[in-house]
Structure 1
């Protein structure tokens, strides 16, 4: 019994001590808060009202969804296939342009693809031949024969070594796909090109001769080539110019650079001249087989053919793009309806409209649309799918409409018939809304439009620094009627910039708020009014 009394007494003493400590802590916290003073500033001094956000604008009723076709000034009109009042389906041809030259252009692009495909096929066959070729044992060089790669066999009897020399045609622009009439690219038997007197050699061919890949890296020792100019541009003519190029000594060049054949010895680069390319010879070059090829020769030849194939495949891709572009231009010759509807406007061949007027207008039979502009201050409050309302000027007919499109670019002053407040210093953004029930509405009449924003309140802007966020809740520290801080929830909208945020509810312009950070940002702290003027 005596033991139980002692335990009870100890428990009571412990509880008393805890109560005293808790009361002391609470008293200390309350006392500390009473000693703190939070500086509060008037919302009206910190922020500003949204004077420009009127929530209203003006607009124009449009008949409904439509398609307007304007004539292309770069094309010749051939035929108009509809007349006013016709009913059309999506895909119907409305008008056609002259397309003969466009068809020829498409055929030319297709021919280029066919020619390049043939060259690729020939090069692949040539590559396979060298891959399966049995190499010969290299012969020992004769001691009396000078090994001078810069002086290959240069006699004028070369025509006698070429089958059908009369078929060799002088080339105006020698590029990577041009065929040499003789040689295998070695120092003793270089590629030979017959060139016109005003001929050029492209940087693309120089890169191939230099052994460069597409990234400008020299991946092999290069090839040798001789560029000749002969009298009469025929192989049997007297030699006028003869220049040997060692590919291993060539720098990497831009593909479209051109060097005059006459200036090859000085390598003076001419400006790129936009002139037609010579048609490439699709016949694979003949390879001398009298002495055969060593393994090194075969490897060099395989590398060279692979380089040529890369160039041809790249050219083929460019040809495909050119064909697609030409086909699109041809498709534009037949202008088709993009929607089902009625032809409400249609010009005629005898009296074509001006460039700013449509030749054909197709209108949908369902619903109507209202178009207008919204100021930059209301722009962030307007959303696609939002319902707006309005009244027409002529009949006063009330309507509702759903926003279908809001432009991300401000309009010019001449873009629309009706505008918002008309402040020349404010940007206005066009929008379109669909009117499902268009009863009593007339095409083209003006209307007053009400834009329904958040809670029907224009709101005001407050510096973001005075608004804190806790999860999805925004709040401010506000002075209450008792003169101390309280934590108050606020409803916010879009930011006007990186400094201000829009406040819709929770506080007013008459309230005083404190900076929501630091030791004084606590509920119950006494408040002291403060303004920037007090610093001066």
Structure 2
């Protein structure tokens, strides 16, 4: 009876699990199996053709004659305005001079920082050379010394100081205990107490050989321990830094400040004196020190390269601080600095004859345009085409621009002025089309692929779209874009071809791996 009951329970459990699996399959798997295909369109069907013709340029206007606008440098003081309104000027005449004292101070500061960096690089190079000479070693066996000195030696080591006994018995001035210490070590009162013989005789003689942090010797200090038997001695109350008040002069003599002369004998150490007894490093420790020092050196060199570049930029920013006239004409206006609005010219030089066109150039093309560059000017008023040359380009951006063609309207734009080569009578203020002849593309536009902007999505600094792969599955494809076709479509430089099939990249079914089907109707209906 119990066996039948258990068998019945097992059957019910298995059936319940099967039903649960079927429910899960119906909820999650079946919809995926019957996912609605995403319609894709041949790129050849949706592509748009480039409107053709030179397009790199802007819209501008005709102004009254050739003129030169002088815009003040932001944050730079003007020392002298050398002309007055109504003064005639020739090309090359000085119009104003800037006070570059602050800028020159900035240049000197940068130069000082460069010198500091160069010294740091030199020092780091020297430290790296020392590290490269290190060999793996182990500490020597502890010297035979009186127990009280060994105790004090351990105390120094506990404080993190490199402190080694080299030789000697400490029994006479000719055979002192010789200690090697680094310049940063402060000898504690307990050390002087130990060699003084108070309260436990005898006293000892000691010589402290002092080394720089790079283990180059500096000076030695010979001490008679008996001189510290006076319990009021400064050494017994404060301790003594082995380098404080000790200076090695250029003539190799020693100068002592803040230390009584009876503290012992000081002299310079020869460069050949070794830091015997240490330090001791394993191979791994030496390799780690070398790598860290090489990384430090590489960082300093990169910093030096950047600061040298900053120096050149700072030097070129304002030149000699003198602004010259670029045209023959008359100073037509000079405004007060107090009343000057942002982006407004401080001074204007007006020529007596000729016309000029004003336009803007985008930040991305600033490096491609230059004074004297030839441009093409199409007049909307009379339909005539003229040539001209760029006279000046401002360093100050304008709040808006009449960009055109393949220029991107969201860029920053800078105003420029250009001459117009014509003797025709033109109307001041008429609109013109200005084309940069040297910037216009010469490639075969018929082979270029332009697709509507609606098919392109942005992710961070990249663009992508969705296409059908060889298995008729939806694939996320990153693309490289090129020119803009009047803001309606964008050139695809790489990522898709004319033979691909592309999907409209919006909708709930747009997921990688979704099945695709070629649309029968046009996307536009």
State the TM bucket, normalised to the shorter chain: 0.3 to 0.5
Give the TM-score of the pair, scaled to structure 1: 0.35
Give the TM-score of the pair, scaled to structure 2: 0.36
